[in-house]
Amino acid sequence: MAKYPHMLPNEVPIWEKFLSIWGDQFTDYRYDVHVGHGEDPGPDYPDPWRSLAIKLTQKRIDAVAKRDGVLYIFEVKPDAGLSALGQLKAYRVLYRETFGYRGPLRLAVVTTRLNRDERLVYTRYGIEQYEVGDV
């Protein structure tokens, strides 16, 4: 099993650099967190195939961790641009729905770089940005 399940090979060095810089600020890391209902192929499919189909079609969060009693959802992407914005907003809704979580929750993008406009948009949506530079 991969060290960070669900992360692509080009995302792992970004995450590891994040961990080397800010990792000690967070605790209780979990990876490949499945959220949402997924798609049920129906009762004509026997288990374990039916269960597997549901699991494979659920959305998956790269990483979740805690800091000062606040849950953080992380999306890791090289040159994230704005592509992580929609994912993070959806993950917040699906995490709360899936786990019934009503506590404080923050969103964070971990990426190699963001430009000025991207930083502005993420900031306006209250999404923390962690730029690690080249890896």
The reported pLDDT for the residue numbered 65 is 98
12-32+59-131: which CATH architecture? Answer: 3-Layer(aba) Sandwich (3.40)
The reported pLDDT for the residue numbered 5 is 86
Q: What is the pLDDT of residues 79-109, one digit of tens each?
A: 999 999 999 999 999 999 999 999 999 999 9
Q: What is the pLDDT of residues 35-54, one digit of tens each?
A: 999 999 998 888 889 888 88
Q: How far is CA 11 from its chain centroid?
A: 12
* Whole-number Cα distances in Å, 88 to 2, 48, 83, 118: 23, 30, 9, 14
Secondary structure tally for the chain: helices H, strands E: 4, 5
Question: Does pLDDT of 2 surpass 90?
Answer: no
Q: What is the pLDDT of residues 7-17, one digit of tens each?
A: 999 999 999 99
DSSP assignment of 66-104: EETTEEEEEEEETT-TTHHHHHHHHHHHHHHHHH---S-
The reported pLDDT for the residue numbered 121 is 98
The token pair at 99 is 């786990």
Question: Does pLDDT of 67 surpass 70?
Answer: yes
Cβ within 8 Å of residue 73, ≥6 positions away? 61, 63, 64, 88, 91, 92, 95, 105, 106, 107, 108
The reported pLDDT for the residue numbered 1 is 53
Amino acid at 63: A
